[in-house]
Structure 1
Amino acid sequence: MDLLTDRIDAFIDHLAAERQLSGHTLSNYRRDLDRIAAHLDNNGHSDWNRLDAPLLRQFIAHQHREGISGRTLQRRLSACRTFFHYLIREGLAGTNPAVGISAPKSGKPLPKTLDADQLGQLLDQNSDDPLVVRDLAMLELLYSSGLRLAELVSLDINSVDLREANLRVTGKGRKTRQLPVGRKATAALERWLDCRDQLADYGERALFVSQQGQRLSPRSVQARLARWGQQNGLQERLHPHRVRHSFASHLLESSGDLRAVQELLGHADISTTQIYTHLDFQHLADVYDNAHPRAKKQR
């Protein structure tokens, strides 16, 4: 098993140095490859060259029977393909066993969103507590600019220009984009910056900091938002990506401009953004079912 994990360690170091992937992405690669390595080890093999297509298909079939989604299995196959491209390049493998293997398909769930009233209940609050002021600024910015969690926590003070009401963010693939910041988000950020020094360590550049004065971690943001959702009576867990989904859905519903939403979200492919057209249609379908005289649902 040591040789298997040593190869994974070297690959992760390669991804971090040459492709500058985020810590979250690197963790996913490691987790997926560790599972394949464990399957290889359980079959009595300690060399990645012993992983062939039949053994890899066996792994995928076993995972599928365990209830792992097709989307997750496709990600694991993608990690395996990328890993073997690296091994072949380094002269450590001769063939790529993942080429030509597909995961079982599974339905793609629509992202869940918050409606405008729910967001209003979350955001229209006042407090002098620096932690509450910080959380409200984070929520406003997530909804105003459609940020990913990793993009939010990576922001520095100089990432935001409140006078021009915009921010510069680094997204996936180290690509930067400039985003507008809404009026209420700007006001929330001004309130946070007025009290940020009460928490931040001297010289700390991060826009959002923890009680310990250092850059806020993704896990802490997730925990704070989940707490906010519970306190405000949301039935389902509130998480940063749900706010991003709400931003995209509401903007597309109002503007109908798919290309603009794609640019704001930082999607490389417009097909990723098209999921929100399905959300919009579902909203229209619900209105139709509840309002049309010949389609009203029985109550």
Structure 2
Amino acid sequence: MSSGPTPPPEAATDSSPPQDADIAAFLAHLRDVRGHSPHTLQAYRRDLAQLRRLHAGPWSGLTAADMRRIAGQQAREGRHPRSIQRFLSAARGFFAYQVEHRRMPANPAAGLRGPRAGRALPRDLDVDQAQQALTPAEGLDPILAARDQAMLELLYSSGLRLSELTGLDLTDLDLDTGLVRVLGKGRRERSVPVGRVARDAIRSWLERRGDWAAPGERALFVTRRGGRIGNRAVQRRVAEAGRRAGLDVRLHPHRLRHAFASHLLESSGDLRAIQELLGHANLETTQIYTHLDYQHLAQVYDAAHPRARRSR
């Protein structure tokens, strides 16, 4: 007596072995010739079994349009971008093998890429947390406290990258006009406003800098040994400031840069101006944006940054 109807192929799980001679031959090639690991073979087996279920006809009948439709269907069903990328990678390899053995006229997945996985952004600091992190330290060596406060304020005030901060020379700063000249990625130079609070902190540091700086040292920020401060040292000092402030997230320079951008955007809504202030030459989701003149950037900055009000 029969125990019941045989489940249709659609009911098979992703881990089921593919019932397809071409896929079996390809997996054997990966194992025996290419030497892929069992883990990799298992991943290919799952993805190609899914492809077989999505296309029941001859492989030679698949077109590039079919593959785009399949990838789009997976995205609409909520499959993670990285999973879709892996699926397409397996399909490209399989079809390339078929073309090589003259079982298909062309690779329908050639050049097809899955959706890009979004990068995780650092957890936001709200304005109150930023103010908390920038509260002047007590009980530290006065010179150390002045330097650290100036670095923290400048990172948040002007949205500098870590390397931009450590690369600053004394001649890059103009406290009278409230500007700092920055050499960013690709050696692109830009001028960024420096808020009133940061300017006051920098002036306090400059009054003490001579006690540490070696003769002829050009760096704006130096260590006790007299030379330019390095990236690791800044990261440690910023993290220490976050612990001292009792933040529930780890404070690092990029988090302050992100807070700078977030708080300006919340207040101004002017995304293009903020892109310019951050020194981004382009964005992944847009074409190269139109450069804005400095007067407009300064107006956005003055009106929106929580600690950057300029004295009139």
Q: Tell me the TM-score range normalised by the shorter chain.
A: 0.5 to 0.7
Cα deviation 1:148-174 (Å, max 9, x = unaligned): 000000000010000111010000000
Determine if contact 1:259/1:270 at 8 Å carries over to the other structure.
no
Q: Is there any run of 5+ residues in structure 2 with no aligned partner, and where? A: 1-32, 44-80, 86-109, 288-312
Aligned residues: 187
Cα distance in 2, alignment partners of residues 181 and 104 from structure 1: 39
Cα distance in 2, alignment partners of residues 237 and 103 from structure 1: 33
Q: Which amino acid aligns with 1:121?
A: Q
Cα distance in 1, alignment partners of residues 149 and 258 from structure 2: 18
> Partner of 1:261 in structure 2?
274
Residue 242 of structure 2 corresponds to residue 229 of structure 1: yes
Question: What is the Cα-based RMSD across aligned positions, in Å?
Answer: 3.2
> Partner of 2:158 in structure 1?
145
Cα distance in 1, alignment partners of residues 200 and 126 from structure 2: 22
> So what's the TM-score if we normalise by structure 2?
0.54
Give the drift of 1:122: 2.2
* Structure 1 SS opposite 2:223: coil
Q: Which amino acid aligns with 2:129?
A: Q
Q: What does residue range 95-106 of structure 1 map to in structure 2 within 5 Å?
A: 106=117
Residue 127 of structure 2 corresponds to residue 121 of structure 1: no
Residue 130 of structure 2 corresponds to residue 108 of structure 1: no
> Partner of 2:194 in structure 1?
181
Cα distance in 2, alignment partners of residues 101 and 199 from structure 1: 57
Cα deviation 1:220-267 (Å, max 9, x = unaligned): 000111111111111121100000000000001100001100000001
Cα distance in 2, alignment partners of residues 238 and 124 from structure 1: 13
> Partner of 1:21 in structure 2?
none
Cα distance in 2, alignment partners of residues 184 and 203 from structure 1: 28
Moved more, 110-119 or 140-149: 110-119
* Structure 1 SS opposite 2:210: helix
Q: 2:215 aligns with which of 189, 202, 211?
A: 202
Cα deviation 1:1-51 (Å, max 9, x = unaligned): xxxxxxxxxxxxxxxxxxxxxxxxxxxxxxxxxxxxxxxxxxxxxxxxxxx
Give the drift of 1:103: 8.7
Give the drift of 1:111: 2.5
Determine if contact 2:182/2:191 at 8 Å carries over to the other structure.
yes
* Structure 1 SS opposite 2:262: helix
Determine if contact 1:160/1:167 at 8 Å carries over to the other structure.
yes
Structure with bigger helix share is 1
Q: Which has the larger radius of gyration?
A: 2
Determine if contact 1:267/1:273 at 8 Å carries over to the other structure.
no
Cα distance in 1, alignment partners of residues 157 and 118 from structure 2: 30
Aligned structure 1 segments of 4 or more residues deviating by more than 6 angstroms? 101-104
Q: 1:254 to 1:271 in 2, by over 3 A?
A: farther
